[in-house]
């Protein structure tokens, strides 16, 4: 099975549209879910960390299964069905919010179901991208990321209107966006285009095939270790510390928290605008990822000082730039090294390392903030980030690693 792009049809814009609508829905999720926990229900840092874990833990349990299933299915059809499944948890939470009966345990159930669906969506969406574009792969990844985070910023902005728009209406908008995504992703790869899955009688789903490949791969293994470190120290700390900074340190509401998220996303978009031009010619992407992680440790320590608002927002923009570079480079390197027949499974390992480590980081951040206070906890996380980055630079081989080949899409069949 090899990558195949239909020479007569350019369906990549439909894919970008699906990325856009789903990312806008995810932007709503980014603000609404944690703010319901701390701003509506008034829960503490530890319970916020547990709630964030409820969303992310399913990646530890199901994302390898999701990757294996994606490699044996027609992705346009498979993804279209998966996006419709978001209607189940969202429909439940909309009903509870409308009746004003939301409780913490219900949010945990919602988070688990939402996270399970996402675990199947992520590897399938990533694996579909190379099948639809004739562009150089790194450029297509950067363009997809630009659309993703641009649309996510719109979702975050909409979520920031909480208080002016009722919570059930915002959740209903999120559900509608997933329905639209389902239709767009089906149009990006209708039946009869793309990979034809093997006959059901001979189909064999090997869930751990991607793990075995990564463990024996001299370039993918150190990359995944670094990605896991980023998820643990970066994403975990960010998801717990940011809403608590907004509520307890700066004494602000959902609109202020949304502005913090917008600054972060703006940084990611800036990073991808830069990378669209020269990511393909970058010879040492691993070195740049290590520098990015080190600098994010510096930023975590700066936030520990409880800087004034005028400095907070620029710090979050820079954090977003560093995170955007790291994510796009990690995705590009994963696509370059993964064989097409195992791409979904290898991508699922990447997602497992990034988002599977994040709930553990969120739990640790919540526990540290409850135990030592937010400033001391952030200083501890920043210091640990320095230590891990130094160890990775010395022992992983990523600092010396050079890109062996330029990755471009294969020519369409004639």
pLDDT in tens, 223-276: 888 888 878 877 767 877 888 888 888 888 878 888 888 898 889 888 878 777
Cα separation of 164 and 275, whole Å? 37
Contacts of 385 (CB under 8 A, 6+ apart): 233, 234, 293, 294, 296, 297, 300
Asked whether the predicted pLDDT for residue 353 surpasses 70, the reply is yes
Cα separation of 71 and 274, whole Å? 32
Chain segment 103-147, per-residue pLDDT in tens = 888 889 999 999 899 988 988 888 788 778 666 666 777 788 888
Cα separation of 87 and 176, whole Å? 9
CATH number corresponding to 12-189+210-395: 1.20.1250.20
What is the reported pLDDT for 281? 62
Mean pLDDT of 277-304: 81
The span from the first CA to the last CA of the chain, in angstroms, equals: 17
Which band of pLDDT confidence, cut at 50, 70 and 90, is reported for residue 404?
Answer: low
Residue 367 token pair: 């526990």
Asked whether the predicted pLDDT for residue 14 surpasses 80, the reply is yes
Which band of pLDDT confidence, cut at 50, 70 and 90, is reported for residue 346?
Answer: confident
- CB distance 77 to 186 below 8 Å: yes
Angle, in degrees to the nearest 10, between helices 104-132 and 87-98: 150
Residue 165 DSSP class: B
Of these ranges, 21-25, 156-160, 242-246, 344-348, the one predicted with the greatest mean pLDDT is 21-25
Of these ranges, 175-179, 274-278, 356-360, the one predicted with the greatest mean pLDDT is 175-179
Please give the radius of gyration of the chain, using alpha carbons only, rounded to the nearest integer: 20
Asked whether the predicted pLDDT for residue 12 surpasses 70, the reply is yes
Which region among 80-94, 165-179, 374-388 has the lowest average model confidence (pLDDT)?
A: 374-388
% of the chain exceeding 90 in pLDDT: 17
Asked whether the predicted pLDDT for residue 2 surpasses 50, the reply is no
Residues 27-39 as b/e (b if ≥16 CB within 10 A, e otherwise) read bbbbbbbbbbbbb
Asked whether the predicted pLDDT for residue 210 surpasses 80, the reply is no
- CB distance 26 to 36 below 8 Å: no
Cα separation of 239 and 243, whole Å? 7
What is the reported pLDDT for 200? 46
Cα separation of 348 and 360, whole Å? 18
């Amino acid at each position: 099975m090899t990558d195949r792009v239909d020479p007569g049809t350019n369906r990549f814009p439909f894919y970008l549209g699906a990325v856009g609508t789903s990312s806008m829905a995810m932007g709503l999720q980014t603000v609404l879910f944690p703010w319901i926990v701390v701003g509506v229900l008034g829960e503490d840092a530890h319970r916020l960390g547990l709630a964030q874990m409820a969303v992310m833990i399913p990646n530890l349990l199901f994302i390898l299964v999701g990757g294996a299933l994606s490699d044996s299915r027609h992705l346009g059809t498979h993804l279209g069905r998966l996006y419709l499944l978001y209607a189940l948890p969202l429909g439940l939470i909309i009903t509870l919010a409308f009746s004003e009966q939301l409780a913490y345990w219900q949010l945990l159930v919602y988070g688990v179901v939402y996270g399970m669906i996402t675990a199947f969506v992520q590897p399938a969406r990533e694996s579909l991208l190379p099948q639809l574009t004739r562009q150089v792969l790194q450029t297509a990844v950067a363009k997809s990321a630009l659309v993703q985070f641009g649309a996510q910023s719109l979702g975050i902005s909409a979520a920031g209107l909480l208080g002016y728009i009722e919570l059930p209406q915002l959740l209903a908008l999120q559900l509608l966006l997933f329905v639209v995504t389902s239709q767009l992703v089906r149009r990006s790869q209708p039946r009869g285009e793309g990979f034809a899955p093997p006959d059901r009688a001979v189909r064999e789903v090997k869930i751990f095939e991607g793990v075995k490949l990564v463990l024996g791969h001299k370039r993918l293994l150190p990359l995944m270790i670094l990605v896991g470190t980023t998820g643990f120290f970066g994403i975990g700390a960010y998801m717990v510390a940011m809403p608590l900074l907004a509520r307890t340190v700066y004494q602000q509401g959902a609109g202020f928290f949304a502005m913090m998220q917008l600054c972060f996303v703006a940084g990611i978009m800036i990073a991808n605008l830069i990378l669209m031009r020269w990511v393909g010619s970058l010879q040492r992407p691993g070195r740049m990822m290590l520098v990015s992680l080190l600098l994010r440790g510096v930023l975590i320590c700066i936030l520990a000082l409880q800087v004034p608002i005028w400095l907070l927002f620029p710090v979050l923009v820079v954090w977003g730039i560093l995170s955007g570079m790291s994510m796009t480079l990690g995705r590009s390197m994963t696509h370059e090294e993964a064989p097409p027949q195992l791409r979904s499974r290898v991508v699922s390992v990447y997602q497992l390392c990034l988002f599977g480590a994040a709930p553990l980081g969120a739990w640790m951040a919540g526990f540290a903030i409850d135990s030592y206070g937010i400033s001391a906890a952030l200083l501890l996380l920043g210091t640990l980030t320095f230590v891990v980055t130094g160890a990775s630079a010395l022992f992983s081989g990523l600092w010396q690693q050079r890109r062996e080949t330029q990755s471009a899409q294969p020519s369409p069949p004639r």
